[in-house]
Structure 1
Amino acid sequence: MTAPSNPILSEPQEKRFLVLFDFDETIIDESSDDAMIRLLPGQQLPAWMTDSFREGQYNENTQKVLTFMAEQGVSMESIHSAVKKIPPSPGLLKLLQYLQSHLHDFELVVVSDANTYFIQTWLEHANVRHLFRKIFTNAARFGAAGELALLPFHSHSCSRCPDNMCKQVILREYLADRQTERGGATFQRVFYIGDGANDVCPSLALGPRDIAFTRRDFPMHRLLVEMQRSAQFKSNIVPWVCGEDIVDSLEKIVRER
């Protein structure tokens, strides 16, 4: 894909639809953490480290892994190369090609508990960074010792989410900000594409006409289906196995003009 010189300014401001993407196991076909662990001697973490991981402390746990990698001599160049080699989820690039051809209708955002270095590196290598208006994720940068250091995205009071990120807070604040920037105009519909348990919370902010695109048989899909059965989730659920499944749904919606 070829990036326009200034994609944000060259597109109409009042797009009809907002599409939010998770990153790990949604845009890419595995956890970026797993790709990092394969760089270690033996391609696994020692038991003493995994035993120290705490539930709900994703950012803290990932930082332990990155620090250990630096101690084991894993270089910045190796990390950079490994991130670029992570495969996209099936049909994901076809979905992005479709969205690129309809940027007059769709505004794209990433909301991920990964980090800026992994996401920016992968999107730029795939030549799709220009499609996304905003990336919400944890800040990351390499220090002098070669260690990739993470910072929490924000603090919040949501009991469902890890301490460093509540995606529902991010979604609600983004919608409010964009409504102000768009002179009071709201998006006609919002679409959230994800896979994991931490994608459930933002899905709860969706309206009755919005869609949660859930990767089939992944935690987000199972949890939202259970909530829908008990009337706790009242938006639409569309499961996907490949990006073309999402394209099929979006094409029908675009034709509803």
Structure 2
Amino acid sequence: MKDSVFNCCVSSPHPPGAMEEHHPVRHARFLMFFDFDETLVDECSDDSMVTAAPGGVLPGWLKDTYRPGRYNEYMQRVLAYLSEKGISPAAIRSTIEKLPPCPGIPSLMQFLLSQPSRDFEVVCVSDANTVFIETWLQHMGFLPLFQRIFTNPAHFDENGQLKLHPFHSHDCLRCPVNMCKAAVVRQYVAQRLREKGGRPYQKILYMGDGANDFCPSLTLSQVDVAFPRRDFPMHKLIQEMEEAKPGEFKASVVPWRSGEDVINTLRKITERP
């Protein structure tokens, strides 16, 4: 079981159609990917919806509908329940705006915002949804930093219900059925290389925390950097792989407890020619 997770995403997944239309992005030296839940925000944004429910709890019958690997489908039912109970779009947005950032994340975002445009191209890859991510980033003033956000599409319908949809389908057996972040990263990097005339980035950087962030970190090369949140699943999976298959994990690994840890590494790489 442990060995097989190291081989996730070896087969080519179905291309995520949501990537076909995109906004032009600048040609930067470094491409940096961020997860959202427990990387930018210090909680799971989906779990925060429980606090918006009547009495701050979900009924047992609803919680019992969860199935492993199908959290997106479960959240669709949770959001429908909240709408039935009269939870307004404003209440949902307010709940998301109150999510605390992870330690040092405001400093890291400000650092990236202060850098020359030629340095960093910043992208979010998350299994949350567009409404949650854009609401929080806008509230914090960080939205202009992100060139692209790849996540599950969501919108409020005419009745005020937040409707959630899966991002794509794929063939990776180790990722949730609605999103394989490795597929997203591979396709986006390939697309950008074509747009850049084949000129590679100096480094690709990936910052995350969860098991579904381990999968895209396997796409990184020897010159790239993985930033796993220390002692979280992504970090533990990297450690397990390094113990089981020394040298198999290619990227440099910089565990973090605070965004300040990441800033220190970014300062070093930007100083180099």
- TM-score above 0.5, yes or no: yes
Task: Indicate the residue corresponding to 1:234 in structure 2.
Answer: 250
2:258 partner letter: C
Please give the residue correspondences for 1:16-35 in structure 2 after superposition, counting only pairs within 5 Å.
16-35=29-48
2:73 corresponds to? 60
The structural deviation recorded for 1:203 is: 0.6
Helix, strand or coil: the match of 2:194? helix
Q: Partner residue of 1:3?
A: none
The partner residue of 1:248 within 250, 264, 270 is 264
Structure 1 unaligned segments of length 5 or more: list them.
1-7
Within 2, Cα distance between the matches of 1:135 and 1:14? 17
How far, CA to CA, are the matches of 2:242 and 2:147 in structure 1? 31
**Map of 1:133 onto structure 2:** 147
Q: Distance in 1 between matches of 2:43 and 2:113?
A: 24
Q: Which amino acid aligns with 2:230?
A: R
1:152 to 155, 162, 166: 166
Rounded to whole Å, the distance in 2 between the matches of 1:235 and 1:202 is 11
Cα distance in 2 between the residues matched to 1:44 and 1:236: 42
How many residue pairs end up in the alignment? 248
Mapped to 2, the partners of 1:193 and 1:226 lie a distance apart of 18
**TM-score, structure 2 normalization:** 0.88
- Spell out the pairing of 1:217-232 with structure 2 (5 A cutoff): 217-231=231-245, 232=248
1:200 Cα shift?
A: 0.9
Aligned pairs for 1:27-46 (under 5 A) are 27-46=40-59
Q: Which amino acid aligns with 2:262?
A: I
8 Å CA contact 2:27–2:121 kept in 1: the answer is no
Alignment of 1:1-257 (within 5 A): 13-102=26-115, 103-231=117-245, 232-257=248-273
Structure 2 residue runs without a partner (length 5+): 1-22
8 Å Cα contact 1:228-1:234 kept in structure 2: no
Write the letter of the residue equivalent to 1:106: F
Root mean square deviation of aligned Cα: 1.4
Q: Deviations over 1:154-185 (max 9, x none)?
A: 11111111111111011000011100111111
Give me the whole-angstrom Cα distance separating, in 1, the residues matched to 2:262 and 2:57: 34
TM-score w.r.t. structure 1 length? 0.93
Which secondary structure state, in structure 2, belongs to the residue aligned with residue 70 of structure 1?
helix
Instruction: Quote how far apart the aligned CAs of 1:54 are.
Output: 0.5
CA distance in 1 between counterparts of 2:219 and 2:253 reads 13
2:124 aligned counterpart, secondary structure:
strand
Shift of 1:251: 0.7
Deviations 1:125-145 (A, max 9, x none): 111111111000011011222
> What SS does structure 2 have at the residue aligned with 1:161?
coil
Residue type of the alignment partner of 2:253: I
CA distance in structure 1 between the partners assigned to 2:45 and 2:156 by the alignment: 17
Report percent identity of matched pairs.
51
Question: Could you tell me which amino acid in structure 2 is paired with residue 218 of structure 1?
Answer: F
CA distance in 1, matches of 2:154, 2:181: 18
Conserved? CA contact 1:39–1:78, under 8 Å: yes
Deviation at 1:36, TM superposition (A): 1.1
Shift in Å at residue 62 of structure 1? 1.0
Q: Distance in 2 between matches of 1:57 and 1:24?
A: 17
Superposed CA deviations along residues 210-239 of structure 1, whole A, max 9, x for unmatched, are: 111011111111111111222242222111
